[in-house]
Amino acid sequence: MKITYDWCSKIYENRQRLRDWEGLLLDSLEIGFRHLDFQRRYVRTVLTHTEHHLEMADVVFEGRKTEAIADLLHAWTTSSITPAHTLLDTCAERLVCLHNLVPFSSRLRRLVIRSVELIGYKGFEGVGVERFTGLLNHLCVTIKDMDTWPRWGRLLLGILQTSDGAQNLSHWYWELLVELAILFPPSLKGGSTYSPWITAFLAEAQEWEKLECWMGIVWMVWPPGADGIAEEDLDRLMRLLFRQGPCAFWKLEQWMERWSREAGEDTPELFQRTCRQAYETAQRDAP
């Protein structure tokens, strides 16, 4: 793997003297990385990344060969010691366009997901939130696809801090955030605080399914009385939500029951009381 990766740099450096240097370049990437298990993130080999490896990315991406692109991403995400974040950061623009240009094999999809995780939300700010959410919506990331839950918690919350993100990120990811909150609340809470802007936006836009998920996240990560929403505001929002249908009430209860089992804690009495009162009030007020 290391030898063929070094060859790639030499081939690109001496490309003007080689007849079929592009073919040699792609063959070297294939020999070095196609046989590796793409589900495994790290290998012990330490790769040396050069400016030629960065420059050859244009050749690989512009060739639009699915597995060749996967080979390159595998090279740049495979080492625990030198994950080549600097090289990956230069691919943000290419990655957001990629799903419109080539079909995603399971291998390419998995390596794009890993690349997004390593680049992080900040690395995609320059390409625009709307385009970034388009890539994420296409990928439909699951818990099993993630190498590091906290990274995805921070990434998704970063997207939701913008109006384009809250509007365009599919409901799939709101439910994914619920799963992260249930299984590993620190993945959302670490370094982040409750954002009242998101709550207000969802209520005003009448995004009831997303608001349903957001209420569950708030209860699990930023509950009233801690650093979250005021109890009276939460009661008002839950009554508003439950008027749209009883399914939101049952979903919240099921999510909190799962969270309680995972955390080894009792479901907070405040949640039980507030949720039940809001549901009963919503039912009385229903036409």
Q: Give the separation between CA 108 and CA 74, rounded to whole angstroms.
A: 9
For residue 233, the model assigns a pLDDT of: 84
What is the reported pLDDT for 262?
Answer: 92
What are the 10-residue block averages of pLDDT along the chain, 287 residues in total? 91 93 95 87 76 92 95 83 68 93 95 93 92 96 93 92 91 96 84 83 92 92 75 86 88 95 89 89 76
3-state secondary structure of 191: coil
Rounded CA gap, 6 and 54, in Å?
A: 13
Confidence at residue 283, expressed as pLDDT on a 0 to 100 scale: 81
State CA 169 to chain mean position distance.
Answer: 10
How far, CA to CA in Å, does 43 sit from each of 57, 73, 110, 234? 22, 14, 16, 47
Give the distance between the most distant pair of CA atoms in the chain. Answer: 81
What are the C-alpha distances in Å from 256 to residues 57, 134, 156, 222, 228? 46, 30, 21, 13, 16
Structure tokens at 279: 């549901």
Produce one character per residue of 247-273: b if its CB has 16 or more CB atoms within 10 Å, e if not: ebbebbbebbebbbeeeeeebbeebee
